[in-house]
Amino acid sequence: MRIRVVSSKDEISHLNPNERIVHLAFRPSNVDFLDLMRSCPRLRAVQVPPSYHKTMSKAIKLFLEMQGIDLLEGDVWGHRKDIDEYYVVDEGAIEEIGTMIKEGESIEEATAAIQRKTRLAPDLIKYIAKSKITA
């Protein structure tokens, strides 16, 4: 799973329209979210750092929910955008999440176990688990 890291609002207009998950590494305004949805019509999830998540308006959170876009809180630890514009979630971690869910673990138990092993954000782990359940 690849997460496109966007470090400034100037990059939004240059995004690939097929992006599904985007991490915003800057403090986005409501207009930035609207531009993001316009640039990426297939968008399924947006991840923002915890400090930015706390200051987001309820209106944009509700709007994202109405559009079917999950808002995730978390960071992309250790990622260097100058090397690669995508943060890649290890395939082994994704398979382990899927296996735990299939074996009957709750999403919370799977999240706690995977978070101890990896530096993935809890919301991202829950998003992956939810997508594995519906797949």
pLDDT at residue 117, as a whole number: 87
Distance CA 100, CA 95 (A): 9
Identify which of 39-53, 76-90, 106-120 has the greatest average pLDDT.
Answer: 39-53
Q: List, for residues 78-108, the tens digit of each pLDDT value.
A: 656 656 788 888 898 889 988 888 888 888 8
pLDDT band at 10 (very low <50, low <70, confident <90, very high): very high
pLDDT at residue 81, as a whole number: 63
- Average pLDDT over every residue of 62-78: 89
Is residue 28's pLDDT more than 90? yes
Distance CA 14, CA 7 (A): 12
Distance CA 79, CA 88 (A): 9
Q: Which amino acid is at 104?
A: G
Q: What percent of the chain has pLDDT over 90?
A: 52
